[in-house]
Each structure stands twice: as structure tokens, then as C-alpha cells.
Structure 1
Amino acid sequence: MNEKYAPLKSNVRMLGHLLGNTIREAHGDEILEKVEKIRKLSKSVVRAGNEADREILIEEIKSLPNEQLTPVARAFNQFLNLTNIADQYHTISRSCEADVCEPDPIYTLFSKLSQQDVSKFDTVQAVRDLNIELVLTAHPTEITRRTMINKLVKINECLSKLELNELSDKERKKTERRLEQLISQSWHSDVIRQQRPTPLDEAKWGFAVVENSLWDAVPEFLREFDERLKGYLDEGLPIDARPVHFSSWMGGDRDGNPFVTHKITREVMLLSRWKAAELYLKDFQELITELSMVKCNDQVRDLAGDEHEPYRAILKPVRKLLIDTLEVLEAQINQQDVPNKPILEDISQLWEPLMACYKSLRESGMAIIADGSLLDTLRRVKAFGVHLVRLDIRQESTRHSDVISELTRHLGLGDYDQWSEQDKVSFLINELSSKRPLLPRDWEPSEPVQEVLDTCRVIASQSREAFGAYVISMARTASDVLAVHLILQECGCKFRMDVCHCLKPLMT
């Protein structure tokens, strides 16, 4: 095997050995020997193409007693999971970097730009204009429990620790013991969901992805990107750049999903803001601990007054704001009495004090401190905002035409659904430019229509920054888009939401 894959092979062998210990303890030597026999036969068939062993393998599996089917199947399922972890970890491990397992994508990009004679001026402008939106989508068919995913993450952390050369024998044995415990926990746990996840479960899964992965990955990537830009362009990433941000369909995608209601959307949005405030609170607590310096510029001195430690003085009120935000949002989520306290509403409440500290530290000869945890938090504020992820709303086109049709019939204007496209567009444009309300106060729409209206009112109650786009599936005409704009306007939406369409349903 190529030398650069030797660490991967070693990790797979170690994880397989620890899994074998777990199987032996749980089911005895007989099952372990059966698993090993099937594994070796499979290896012979796949790698060597041994047809004789293929027939033996088939008979071996056919002859398994019923009580051995589940543990044998689980053994290979667990082994594949562990192998995948080892493989994924190998692509980011120190050994992989040293042996150049994969080409560096940023370096490759700059090489291509140079080869194609793209000017550095154009490259700088393109970097400043970067606006990449990554969308987290719902996966109701995902059967792996978050509990199991968390165990796999911890196994990954153990592999990282074992890679350290300076690890003592005592610490190495402790980490290997921890690995075996995690593998055993996985073996003795129910790995399959017993119930289909609810839309709230899906949303919480998305927030967990942000917390456990993206929250650290975004500033880490942007730091690396900034360093490469400086090397290639002699100019780094602007401090206020937002090259990447995130949206989500979880809690907003209601096309064909009756479980996603306006109440679910509202709760998901509250949970999203709560999680954002919780994560920012951890960042600010860390910054308050770190920024004990006393030297500052005039702006920070004006903001801090006579406080001896000005940076802490500036950040502590923001910490209090975040604590109050968590309390208020938790009360709203649990439908309790809401405390009358100011809460985090706009990223300027985070950005301005952080930026004041950043500028002061750099002007006071402490750039290395400014470019540490403080810069990471500034990057997060730009990427995640107040809402953590922007929610996309998705609905099927006929749900909107049903609203207009039911309304026009109530108003005695005829059946909107029976009108020509030209008449529909003319009506919608006239109503969009009208200053009078279209929805009558005494109108009692059907339940499906009321749900669409309530969803649009939830949208109207939030800020523009809370949303990505309103996606219409199966939209075919201009009136499909105009109808959404009209309904949003009639429900009190003060901002113009991006409305886009797709011609066919998307898999969720």
C-alpha cells in the first residue's frame, strides 16, 4: 500500500481490533469467529476474485442461524462506520497533510487563475463580491440517531489525539480505552430511529451541525483563505467580508409536508435565534476572559469611561444583552410570561463593540491579540447573523392561487383560478399597487387558506435578515410569483422578500 495511506490502514486495523473486543464481550468467541471468517472470505472474493471462496461465502451466510443474523450484520455495519470515520479523518490528518494526500483547493484555484491570465485586480474584486450561500436541507429519511452521530464524532476526536507524537504512554492508553468505550457504547445502543423525526427534530439537527461543526469551521477556513490571499494578492480578506453564509429549509419547507405549519415555522425561528444567542454568549464570555488589556485608543476609552479594563467594560453589557435574549426567547418558545427586557435584534449590537475593540487593539500595538478569538467572532457575526441560519420558505404554487381564488369568490369577483393568465397578472399588479387593503375583516377562509395566510403573517413579524427566499415549487407563470408577493403584502410584510420558483418538486 502507498506509504501515505499507512496511517489510515493502521487506524482501520486498530478500530477493527477494538470492535472485535466488543463483539467478543457481548456475544462470545463464536460470533467473532463467524464475523472474521465472513470478512476474510469477502476479502478473498473482492480483492483476489476467488470464485471458490465466493461459493463458500454464500453458503456461510445462508447457513447462519436466525439468532446470529443480527449480530453479524451489525458487526459489518459498525465496521463500515468506523472505516468511514478513519477515512474521513485521514483527509484532514497531519500525516495526510505531510504526504499531500489531496491537492489544496485554494492553491489549485490560484494556480488556475495565474494560468488563465486573470488579473490580480479582477481577483481582488471577485473576492470582495463573494457571496456563497449554503443551504441545510431536511432529511426525514435519515435513520441514524443524533446520539450515534455524536459518538462517531467523539471517535474522530480520539483519532486526532492519538496522532500526537508527544502523547505519553499513559495518555495514549487512556485514549485507546476511551475509544473502546465509545465503540462498545455504539454496539449496545439502538442505532436506528424508532420514530420519524418531526420538523422540530430536523431543525435541531441542523442547529447541532452549526454548533458542532460550522461554528468553528467557518472562521478557521476564512483564516486560511485570508493567509492564502495575502500570499497571492498581497491583500487579505476584508474584515467585513461575508463570503459564506447559511440558509435552511428545516421548518420552512412545507411543500407536501403537512407537519410543517406556521406554528412550527415560528418555533423553529425562535429556536434558531436562541441557539445563535447561546453560541455568541460563549464567545463573549471567552473574550471577556481574554481581553484584560488596559491600553486602548480614544474611541474605546470614550465607550469604557473610567473603567481600568476598557475592553471588558465594553463587552460585558453585550454579554448581559445575550443573557436577557436567551431568557426572553426561552419564555416565548415555552409560551410563558415574557420578561420586559431588551434583546438582540440586529448584528450591529454585536459588530460595533467587537469592531471597536478590534481597531483599538491593532492601533495599540496588539494586532496579534486582535487577530485571535476576537477576529473569529467578528467573522461569525457576519456569517451567522442574529438568526444563525436564514430560513427559506417553500410552498407549492397552487396553495397561493387557492388563496386568491377563494378571496375573489368571497368578494364576488369571480373565480381567479378560471381567469386567463393575462387577467390574473393584471389583477395582481393592480392590487400590489393599491393602497387599500384587499383582505376583508369579516372573511373566514378555509383551513388550508388560513394556514397560508398565517405563514405569511409569521414572515411579516420577522426582519428581512431572518429569511433567505420564498421558493415556489411547480411554478409555471408570472402570476405564480406575483400571487406570493400580493399575499405577503396583504399580511403586513414590510420588506420585499426574494421569491423564486422551481419547475418540479425537490426531494427533501
Structure 2
Amino acid sequence: MTDTTDDIAEEISFQSFDDDCKLLGNLLNDVLQREVGGRFMEKLERNRILAQSACNMRLAGIEDTAELLEKQLALEMSKMTLEEALTLARAFSHYLNLMGIAETHHRVRRARSMTHLSKSCDDIFNQLLQGEVSPEELYSTVCKQEVEIVLTAHPTQINRRTLQYKHIRIAHLLDYNDRPDLTHEDREMLIEDLVREITSIWQTDELRRHKPTPVDEARAGLNIVEQSLWKAVPHYLRRVSNALKKHTGKPLPLTCTPIKFGSWMGGDRDGNPNVTAKVTRDVSLLSRWMAIDLYIREVDSLRFELSMNQCSDRMLKVANDILVEGLGCCPV
């Protein structure tokens, strides 16, 4: 029997998703109204209605009417100039991107609202122990486990980094919009921020005007490391470590690396004449630079986080040893 509370929660969650779609769709329409004018928006709306009506007729099994609507849609589009057709395609493309952002946000929101994740590390470890796996065996097996993620890149998978950041910004604004303590003024400012981002997206060229090089492809791949993996992997490993400590009494060892990375970027010698020894070297240096830059950011954050002016004798000795070895100076 379905829990009524779960049904209500699901209904509320879907209503929030619908609200997000309406919000982003209406804001995009407002932006387009200013950017391309009311005359073109009438054409866009007419094409949208014809396409939606044709789909509805086909779903209802009314094929003759659907064909007539599709012919009318084709006629409408044939009357457009190349510039108008491009603007129409861009408008629908951006609309679909915004709906995708809303859907992803909806999925995250649903996951957060779940009181119990049946596939969480804690639950899986608990099931294994109940299945007569000893804590020692569980600990040993988890510590020995290795998963290698191999990064690759392809020119057809590259989205402009500028647009990626704008999409991320919109997702963050939707997340902020879910806060129950927002005032009327807060929501007005949030709407202004969304309008600013959507306007900026529309005024940004989506296409690369030059063919991406293998180094460009690698740079786009490393962007995924910077945006997602750099935070997501340690967060996941911390969850595994906490669950392991709860069920076995011991966390993951600091030297344990259950997730490793490999890369084909800039080194995929499958006959591509553009991947040369120089490209491989440049991509390797780029990867090293990215790793160093990410670590420097973390160290810089630690400088502000670790504000203590006292430490143990052991920590002081380690710090002095590092200074002596790395800088060649006298110990404090």
C-alpha cells in the first residue's frame, strides 16, 4: 500500500518542478521579446503551436490531421529567411537547455527529500554484515577495491565553457529559490539574476568559430575535473570512510586510493594525425598545471581555515622538517 505522505511529497516535488519550468520559460520569453521583437515572437509561437498540435494528434492516433499540421509547419518554416530560421533554432535550443537544468534540479531535490537511500554506503555495508560477512573481511575488501576512471575527449562533446558556467549559475539560482526563508526582495533580486544570466546566454555565440585542437579538447575535459570530480570524489570517499568506520571501527587509510584516474586526452594514437608527440607533451603539462592550480586553491583556503596559533610538538617538528627540506633554511 502506497504511503499517503510519500504521494503528497511527490506531488509537491513535481509542482515545484513545474513551477521551475514555467519560471524559466516565461523569463526566456521575456528576454526574447526584448531581443528579437514581438513580430518574430508571433512566428515562433505559431510554429510552436503547430508542432505541439501535430505531436498531440499523432499521440491520439489522428494521423490525417497530424499530417496537415506538419505540412502547415513546413510551409511556415519555408517562408523564413536563413537568419530567422537560425534564430528560431537557437530559441528552441535554449528553451530545451533551460528545461534540462530544471529537470536536473528536480532530480537533486527529490534525492535530498528522501529520508533513506537504499543504496547508500551505510545500507550496503549493513546488508553485507547481516549476510555473514565479517567486519574484518569487509574492511579488507573495501580497502583493496580499485576503480579507474579514464578521461577522454571528443570535439562533438565540447560545449563552450562560458555557457557551461552560465548553466551552472542558473542551477544554483534555482537551488537558492527553494529556500523557505526568502523575502519578497530576495526573490525579486533572484529574478533579476536569472534574467541577467538568460540574456547573457542569448547574446553569447554558442558555436566555436575555429575547429578545436586536441589541446582544446583536453582543456574541456579537464574542466569536468575542476567543476565536478575535484569535489565529488573526496565527498564520496568521505561517505565510504564514515560508513566503514561505523561498521568496522576503522576508517579508510589515508594511503588508500579506491578511485584512480587515467586519461586518453592528447594521447589517443588511433590514427588521428593531429595527435603528435608535441600535443601529448602539451596536454601532459596542461594536466600538471591544472593539478597544481587546484592544490594551490585548497592550500590557500586552508590558510584562512587553520587560524590556530598553537600546535602539538609533533606537528611543530613536521612543519620544521618540511621547511628545512623544502627551503633549505634553519629550523625554528
Q: Which TM bucket (shorter chain)? A: 0.7 to 0.9
1:261 positional shift: 1.1
- The one of 262, 267, 271 aligned to 1:252: 267
Separation of aligned partners in 2, 1:39 and 1:235: 59
**How far apart, CA to CA, are the structure 2 residues paired with 1:101 and 1:289?**
35
In the alignment, what sits opposite 2:3? none
d(CA) in 1 for partners of 2:51, 2:139: 53
Q: Distance in 1 between matches of 2:233 and 2:158?
A: 27
CA deviations on 1:252-291 (whole Å, 9 max, x unpaired) are: 1121111111111111111211121111111111112221
1:327 alignment partner in structure 2 = none
Residue 83 of structure 1: how far off its partner (Å): 1.1
Residues 112 and 62 of structure 1, relative CA distance in 2, 3 Å threshold: farther
Q: Distance in 1 between matches of 2:146 and 2:94?
A: 39
Of the candidates 156, 174, 190, which is equivalent to residue 159 of structure 1? 174
Shift of 1:124: 1.5
Q: Does 1:131 align with 2:138?
A: no
Give the number of the structure whose alpha-carbon radius of gyration is greater: 1
Q: Point out the more displaced range, 133-142 or 234-243.
A: 234-243
1:14 to 15, 23, 30: 23
Residues 1:220 and 1:167: Cα distance change in structure 2 (over 3 Å): farther
2:230 maps to amino acid? W
Read off the aligned partner of 1:15 and give its amino acid letter.
Answer: L
- Contact conserved, 2:121 with 2:239, CA < 8 A, in 1? no
Q: Kindly tell me: are residues 91 and 108 of structure 1, through their superposed partners in 2, closer, same or farther at Cα, counting changes over 3 Å?
A: farther
State the partner residue of 2:33: 24
Structure 1 Cα separation of the partners of residues 293 and 141 of structure 2: 34
Q: Percent identity?
A: 34
1:81 and 2:94 aligned = no
Higher relative contact order (CA 8 A, sep 6+): 2
Residue 98 (structure 1) aligned with residue 113 (structure 2): yes
Q: Aligned partners of 1:91, 1:246: CA distance in 2, in Å?
A: 27
Residue of structure 2 in register with 1:361 after alignment: none
1:9 Cα deviation after fit = 1.6
Task: Establish whether residue 120 from structure 1 lines up as the match of residue 135 from structure 2.
Answer: yes
Q: How does 1:387-402 map to 2 (within 5 A)?
A: none
Q: 1:171 and 1:90, CA in 2 relative to 1: closer, same or farther beyond 3 A?
A: same
Alpha-carbon deviation of 1:129? Answer: 0.8
Q: How far 1:82 sits from its partner (Å)?
A: 1.0
Taking the aligned partners of 1:53 and 1:133, their CA distance within structure 2 comes to 50
Cα gap change, 1:83 to 1:116, in 2 (>3 Å): farther
Give the drift of 1:237: 2.5
Q: Compute the TM-score of the two structures, normalised by the length of structure 1.
A: 0.55
In 2, the alpha carbon distance for the partners of 1:100 and 1:53 equals 45
User: Hey, what does 2:185 align to over in structure 1?
Assistant: 170
Equivalent position of 1:59 in the other structure:
72
Query: Match of 2:210, SS?
Result: coil
Asked if the contact 1:143/1:193 (under 8 Å) is kept, the reply is no
Unaligned runs of 5+ in 2: 1-9
Out of 288, 294, 311, the residue aligned to residue 309 of structure 2 is 294
Instruction: Report the Cα distance in structure 2 between the residues aligned to 1:141 and 1:101, rounded to whole angstroms.
Output: 38
Q: Deviations along 1:197-236, whole A, 9 cap, x unmatched? A: 1011011112221112211112222222333334444443
Q: CA deviation at 1:118?
A: 3.8
After the TM superposition, which residues 417-432 of structure 1 pair with which residues of structure 2 at under 5 Å, given as runs? Answer: none
User: 1:103/1:182 Cα in 2 relative to 1: closer, same or farther (>3 Å)?
Assistant: farther
Aligned residues: 311
Residue of 188, 197, 200 corresponding to 1:182: 197
Residue 99 of structure 1: how far off its partner (Å) = 4.5
Paired residue secondary structure (1:91): helix
- Check the 8 A contact 1:141/1:196 in 2, yes or no: no
Which one of the candidate residues 198, 212, 221 is aligned to 1:206?
221
Deviation at 1:242, TM superposition (A): 1.3
Q: In the aligned structure 2, how far is the partner of 1:115 from the partner of 1:8?
A: 39
Give matches, 1:355-366, under 5 Å: none
Return the alpha-carbon distance in structure 2 between the equivalents of residues 135 and 237 of structure 1: 23
Q: Which amino acid aligns with 1:8?
A: F
- 2:300 aligned to which of 266, 285, 298: 285
- Taking a change above 3 Å as real, the CA distance of residues 36 and 234 of structure 1, as seen in their structure-2 partners, is farther
Where 1:247 maps in the other structure, the secondary structure is: strand
How far apart are the structure 2 equivalents of 1:42 and 1:96?
A: 34
Partners of 2:157 and 2:31 lie apart in 1 by 26
1:264 aligns with 2:279: yes
Which amino acid letter does the alignment assign opposite residue 216 of structure 1?
A: K
Closer, same or farther: CA 230–300 of 1 in aligned 2, 3 Å:
closer
In 2, distance between residues paired with 1:43 and 1:117? 56
C-alpha deviation, 1:66, in angstroms? 1.9
For residues 256 and 115 of structure 1, what CA distance do their matches in structure 2 show?
A: 52
Q: Deviations over 1:96-132 (max 9, x none)?
A: 4215698545356446635754443322112101211
Please give the secondary structure, in 1, of the residue aligned with 2:164. Answer: helix
The answer to whether the 8 Å contact 1:136/1:248 transfers is yes
Cα distance in 2 for residues equivalent to 1:104 and 1:170: 40
1:109 to 1:31, Cα distance in 2 relative to 1, 3 A: farther
Give unpaired runs (5+ residues) of structure 1: 306-313, 322-340, 343-508
